[in-house]
Amino acid sequence: MTGVPRWSRILGYRLSMYFNSSADIIIIAIKPAGRDDEVMEANFNDYPLSSELLKAIGLLDFTSPTQVQAQVIPAVLKQRDIIVRSQTGSGKTAAYAIPICELVDWEENKPQALVIAPTRELAIQVKEDIFNIGRFKRLKVSAIYGKAPLMIQIKELKQKTHVVVGTPGRIIDHLERGTFDTSQIKYLVIDEADKMLNMGFIEQIETIITGLPKERVTIVLSATMPKDIILLCEKYMKGPIRVEIEEPDSASHRISQVRYTIDRNDKPNLLRDITIVENPDSCIIFCNTKQTVDQVYQGLQKLKYTCEKIHGGMEQRERLRAMNDFKQGSFRYLVATDVAARGIDIEDISLVINYDLPLECESYIHRIGRTGRKNRPGKAITFVTPYEDKFLAAIHQYIGQEIPLQERPEPETVHHSKPEFEEKTKAAPEMKAAKGAQLSKEIMKIHINAGKKTKMRPVDIVGTLCNINGMTAADIGIINVRDISTFVEILNNKGELVLRELQKTPIKGRLRKVSKADMQI
Ligand code: AMP
């Protein structure tokens, strides 16, 4: 590597930065700081962020910026283009979401930021993450992705929207229909760019980019940097900063990994024995095909395990429901194809089982990376049939280490482990709070039985609410006017006050039926 190294310390790691001649490219190698290195603790308060954002960040329990955030947040706040090489689990979503939420102008009705994501699941998750971070700035975030009704998305895009997150195909669909106005887009994020390349989306991404205003900040995130992505960046970015974060403690080292050699027909028995011995709190079992997912799922149901399944052949709504239930801890076992392997952020998965050896090396890393998140320890177990030596060797080469071979648990060990396993199976799983739950505590969503058909507009609602004693515009969250009803979020614990007052206060000349609504609607 050429250039002049400069040294800095952050979060207990020594960073070496290499500046090229134009001072644009920064490659960062991170090494644990020596004992004599003083630790410079970064803090979100050090960034020029509004109190609304800092409040949300605090309630989300983000104590200090992750390494990728420490690099990306200041750069994007300064409106610089940036290429980030980092893995999921590094806090990369918040790294771009925080500065974007800070920079977008609340007053502007048209979308100002576009995030392109490879899968629907990731798009939905990114939307939630951005929504949570922009909660108190009252930012409206829309997700547009395939296999979901177009009309609902069209209606959503017609209303005030600050950030749009979408998958390439559906974004283009909206662009062609003229239902997505990109004239005010100032921030473009291409998330998991290498995955988009693998899925054959690169041309679609170029089509989207060419339709956007040229005056914009472009952020590209990718776990790997294949040539095509570099070319794309060169073509559409302006003097990008390049940040490469070599994780000091990579997933494959943090996660304890073992493998078992097993005949195909014997896999169900080994799965039963392993789950009894390991007795995980939560576990994902990965299979290569949806048929195997169905078989394993049925097998586990027969054994009375609390389980769910996810594969590409299921309806989007079913997949989302299963994923959400699993996130919240409603059941312990999720049987899935690689649909669930990438980018999806589920905390506290103690065990990953590769029921089938993945056919692509990258898949192995993504699958095992579902456990051991945020530097917690995790365990990954892989079943390998005697005919899969070649694939196994490729994985060993890819991860740079050999997965230790383990002997199948003795029947005696399984027998001894059974009482504890059965006790856990009988006990109700511990429910985990949804990530944004803390943020929603002081927010109440109310339903008003009047909408577009009665010519209700957000301005009518704001006018009425601001006339209530003790209410200001800052207490009003997202307003969603539908055909015959309107949903309004009331912030800062003022929901009860508004609910009470609106029973006797007319909106647009008439008393309306106003009630408390479900936050999920
Ligand atoms: P990502 O890499 O975007 O998938 O994020 C991984 C997880 O880290 C998500 O659950 C985030 O909510 C969480 N996270 C992001 N930033 C921070 C932070 N600064 N401190 C603690 N957790 C964080």
- Which domain CATH number covers 496? 3.30.70.330
Shared-domain flag, residues 349 and 291: yes
pLDDT digits (tens, 9 = 90+) for 273-327: 999 999 998 899 999 999 999 999 999 999 999 899 998 888 777 887 888 888 8
Q: Is residue 432 part of a domain?
A: no
Q: How far apart are CA 406 and CA 58, in angstroms?
A: 43
**Measured in angstroms, how far is the CA atom of residue 345 from the centroid of ligand 1?**
9
Q: How far apart are CA 228 and CA 243, in angstroms?
A: 18
Q: How many domains does the chain have?
A: 4
Q: What is the pLDDT of residue 474?
A: 84
C-beta of residue 71 within 8 angstroms of C-beta of residue 28? yes
Instruction: Return all residues near 78 (Cβ < 8 A) that are at least 6 apart.
Output: none
Average pLDDT of the segment spanning 244-261: 76
Shared-domain flag, residues 359 and 306: yes
Q: What is the pLDDT of residue 52?
A: 94
Shared-domain flag, residues 409 and 356: yes
Sheet holding 255-261, edge to edge: 255-261, 378-384, 351-354, 283-286, 333-336, 307-310
Domain residue limits at 30 = 1-41
Q: Which residues of 277-305 are buried (b: 16+ CB within 10 A; e: fewer)?
A: bbbbebbbbbbbebebbebbbebbeeeeb
What pTM value is reported for the model? 0.72
Q: What is the pLDDT of residue 165?
A: 98
Residues with CB under 6 A from ligand 1: 62-63, 65-66, 69, 88-94, 345, 374
Shared-domain flag, residues 35 and 56: no
Which of the two residues, 344 and 89, has the higher pLDDT score?
89
Q: Is residue 434 part of a domain?
A: no
Q: Is residue 401 part of a domain?
A: yes
Stretch among 37-51, 142-156, 288-302, 447-461 having the lowest mean pLDDT? 37-51
Shared-domain flag, residues 300 and 391: yes
- Which domain CATH number covers 171? 3.40.50.300
**Measured in angstroms, how far is the CA atom of residue 233 from the centroid of ligand 1?**
25
C-beta of residue 113 within 8 angstroms of C-beta of residue 164? yes
**Measured in angstroms, how far is the CA atom of residue 99 from the centroid of ligand 1?**
15
Q: What is the pLDDT of residue 375?
A: 61
Q: How far apart are CA 193 and CA 180, in angstroms?
A: 22
Question: Of 299, 291, 377, 373, which Cα lies nearest the Cα of 333?
Answer: 299
Mutate to test the pocket of ligand 1, among 43, 54, 66 (most ligand atoms within 8 A of CB): 66
Shared-domain flag, residues 210 and 100: yes
Shared-domain flag, residues 28 and 52: no
Q: Which residue intervals of 34-181 are DSSP H helices?
A: 51-59, 67-77, 92-103, 120-133, 150-158, 168-177
pLDDT digits (tens, 9 = 90+) for 473-509: 888 988 889 899 999 999 888 999 999 999 999 999 9
Question: Of 266, 273, 297, 295, which Cα lies nearest the Cα of 284?
Answer: 297
**Measured in angstroms, how far is the CA atom of residue 227 from the centroid of ligand 1?**
28
Q: Is residue 431 part of a domain?
A: no
pLDDT of residue 515 exceeding 50, the answer is: yes
